[in-house]
C-alpha cells in the first residue's frame, strides 16, 4: 500500500514514472503473447488439416466413413455413431404431504372446537 499523503512532489513524479514503465512492460508482454497465440492457432489449424488428410487416405473404401474420431480434441463427430440416445433423466414426482385430520374437540378448556390434546388447563384439558 502506498502512503501518498505525506509524499513530496518529486516522490509522486517518481511513482508515476515507475508505474508508466511497468505498464509499458506489461503492454509489450501482452503483444508478444498475442503474437505467440496467433502462431499457435495457425499451427493447430495446419496440423488438424494434415491429420484429416492422413485419416482420409487411410480410410477403407469398402466401409462408409464413420465421421471424425472422438479422441481428437477440438473435432466434433460429423456423423452419429449409431448408439441410441440416452433417455432423459426424470425428476422424482413431488407428492404433497397429507394434511393431518382430526375430529375437533369440544371440551370446556376452550369455547370453540379445537385440536384434541391441546387444552390449557391440565385438569380440564382434553
What's the mean pLDDT when you consider all of the chain?
78
Helices (H) and strands (E) in the chain, counts: 1, 0
How many residues appear in the chain?
A: 126
Give which of 126, 124, 108 is closest to 116, Cα–Cα. 126
- For residue 60, what pLDDT is reported? 64
| pLDDT tens track for 55-105 | 777 766 665 555 555 556 666 656 666 777 788 887 766 666 677 777 877
pTM tops 0.85, yes or no? no
Amino acid at each position: 500500500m502506498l502512503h501518498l499523503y505525506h509524499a513530496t512532489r518529486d516522490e509522486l513524479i517518481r511513482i508515476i514514472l515507475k508505474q508508466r514503465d511497468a505498464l509499458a512492460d506489461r503492454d509489450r508482454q501482452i503483444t508478444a503473447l498475442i503474437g505467440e497465440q496467433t502462431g499457435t492457432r495457425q499451427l493447430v489449424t495446419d496440423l488438424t488439416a494434415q491429420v484429416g488428410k492422413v485419416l482420409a487416405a487411410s480410410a477403407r473404401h469398402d466401409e462408409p466413413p464413420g465421421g471424425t474420431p472422438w479422441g481428437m480434441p477440438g473435432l466434433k463427430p460429423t456423423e452419429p455413431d449409431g448408439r441410441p440416445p440416452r433417455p432423459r433423466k426424470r425428476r422424482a414426482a413431488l407428492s404433497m404431504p397429507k394434511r393431518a385430520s382430526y375430529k375437533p374437540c369440544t371440551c370446556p378448556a376452550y369455547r370453540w372446537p379445537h385440536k384434541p390434546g391441546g387444552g390449557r388447563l391440565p385438569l380440564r384439558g382434553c
